[in-house]
A and B are shown apart, each in its own frame.
Chain A
Amino acid sequence: MKTDFDDLIELSDFYILSQKFEEAIKSLRKAEKIQKNNPRLYYNLGIAYEGLNEKDKARDCFRLALKLNPEYKSAQEHLDRLIEE
């Protein structure tokens, strides 16, 4: 069953795809209040901050996603790219 958390993640995907990164961050911060230990949440946050070119915050989020799921390949790719820039 879909939860409020899932809805907020889905909404953040929609905002990211519409290049409304700040709106995406707002949804994700709401989602964070419901559930903290979700790697996808921090991956999306990383993407939204990367979209805004807020690279320090993006790095922190991808690191958190990887802490929660060390096998998260896309998060690792983004983190590597941000570190090497």
Chain B
Amino acid sequence: MKQFVVIGLGRFGSSIARALSEKKFEVLAIDEDENRVREMEGVVSQAVVMDATDEKGLKELGVADFDTAIVSMGETIEDSIMITLTLKEMGIRQVIVKAKSDLHSRILKKVGADRITFPEREMAEKLAESLASPKIFDFIELSKTHGIVEMVVPKKIVDNTLRDLQLRAKYKVSVIAIKRKIPYSKPDGSTDFKEEIIIGPGSDDELISGDVLVLLGKNADLEKIKKL
């Protein structure tokens, strides 16, 4: 089973430590702040109060045996750079680091970070996308040119089958899934929903008002369909 060490237990660090533990991975969580560590006790496999710039301390904890390290030092850029360097020198295969700025990111790459993340920026971009077009729920960039969008089915094409719509031929996008809310009656007589996901829908599948389409295609083609 994969083992993770999370260094820095601010908002991002503690959230990722929690999420990995929920997925049943072994997680070692480290922070200088005793209160933050205490909050992680019982949540992760092991939580330790320690200055992670202390190389000797990291070695004694056996950090070198972990597969992946996530470094999320909120305030101190120098510390995150030092720790990344130390972890790579210790031989950790994958070191993922939260960056604060482009310059920080460039330095992290030079000292061997395997992956750099800008959680606030990534979240902000997604939120901006969904605010710009309220019918877009999610966007995943696969490359500079291709992506996946989750969008509410435009009114114009409701009640048609995928065969009628010919989205592949006309818009060059593929429908990879349809998320649909299936209403049901509760014992008290009121109505509620459960969500159904139709993966790889067939050409006879008909679109219903309120369906969410998961579309794959070139960004330029996806933009066209967004405007329907």
Contacts and interface: CB of A to CB of B under 8 A. Distances in A.
Interface of A: 13, 16-17, 19-22, 40, 43-44, 47, 50-53, 55-56, 74, 85
Interface in B147-200: 152, 181-186, 189-193
Contacts of A85: 137
A2 to B, nearest CB: 13
Contacts of A50: 181, 193
Contacts of A13: 185, 189-191
A74 B208 contact: no
A15 B163 CA distance: 26
* Secondary structure type dominating chain A contacts: helix
Q: Place the interface of chain B in its size category.
A: 10 to 19
Given A51-B209, A51-B210, A53-B212, A16 B135 contact: no
Given A51-B181, A53-B135, A16 B191 contact: yes
A51 B134 CA distance: 15
Contact of B183 (A19, A22, A40, A74): A19
Contacts of B192: 47, 74
Contacts of B183: 16-17, 19, 47, 51
Given A21-B209, A21-B210, A22-B209, A53 B193 contact: no
Given A19-B209, A21-B210, A51 B193 contact: yes
A74 B190 contact: yes
6 contacts: A44-B190, A47-B192, A51-B181, A52-B210, A74-B186, A85-B137
Contacts of A40: 190
B160 to A, nearest CB: 15
A53 B190 contact: no
Give the one of B181, B183, B193, B208 with max A CB within 10 A.
B183
A16 B152 CA distance: 18
A44 B212 contact: no
A56 B130 CA distance: 13
B33 to A, nearest CB: 28
Contacts of A22: 209
A40 B212 CA distance: 26
A21 B193 CA distance: 12
A21 B48 CA distance: 53
A46 to B, nearest CB: 10
B209 A17 contact: no
A14 to B, nearest CB: 9
A21 B212 CA distance: 15
Interface string B89-121: 000000000000000000000000000000000
